[in-house]
Amino acid sequence: MVSIAIIETVTSLITAAMTAGGLAALFGLMAVESFGIPPLPSEIILPFAGFLVATGTYSWTGALGAALLGGLVGALVAYAVGRWGRHWLVRAGTGRLRLDERQLAAMDAWFQRHGEVTIIAGRLVPLVRAYISYPAGTARVPPVRFAAYTLVGSFPFALGMIYLGFVLRSHWEEILPVFHLLDYVVVAAIVVLAVYLVLRLRGNVTGGWPPRFIRSSAPPPPAGGAPP
SS3 annotation, the chain: CHHHHHHHHHHHHHHHHHHHHHHHHHHHHHHHHHHCCCCCCHHHHHHHHHHHHHCCCCCHHHHHHHHHHHHHHHHHHHHHHHHHCHHHHHHCCCHHHCCCHHHHHHHHHHHHHHHHHHHHHHCCCCCHHHCCHHHHHHCCCCHHHHHHHHHHHHHHHHHHHHHHHHHHHHHHHHHHHHHHHHHHHHHHHHHHHHHHHHHHHCCCECCCCCCCECCCCCCCCCCCCCCC
CA distance 184 to 199: 23
Q: pTM for the whole thing?
A: 0.73
The more confidently predicted of residues 9 and 99 is: 9
Question: Do 99 and 89 contact (CB within 8 A), yes or no?
Answer: yes
Residue 147 has pLDDT above 60, yes or no: yes
**What's the pLDDT at 88?**
76
Confidence of residue 150 (pLDDT cuts 50, 70, 90): very high
Residue 160: give the domain boundaries. Answer: 2-174
Residue 110 has pLDDT above 50, yes or no: yes
In a domain, 192, yes or no: no
In a domain, 147, yes or no: yes
In a domain, 85, yes or no: yes
**What's the pLDDT at 71?**
96
In a domain, 157, yes or no: yes
What's the one-letter identity of residue 141? V
CA distance 130 to 86: 19
Confidence of residue 1 (pLDDT cuts 50, 70, 90): very low
What's the one-letter identity of residue 56? G
Residue 80 has pLDDT above 70, yes or no: yes
The more confidently predicted of residues 41 and 148 is: 148
In a domain, 211, yes or no: no
Domain count, the chain: 1
In a domain, 126, yes or no: yes
Residue 113 has pLDDT above 50, yes or no: yes
Residue 226 has pLDDT above 80, yes or no: no
In a domain, 100, yes or no: yes
Nearest to 157 by CA among 74, 18, 43, 69: 43
In a domain, 150, yes or no: yes
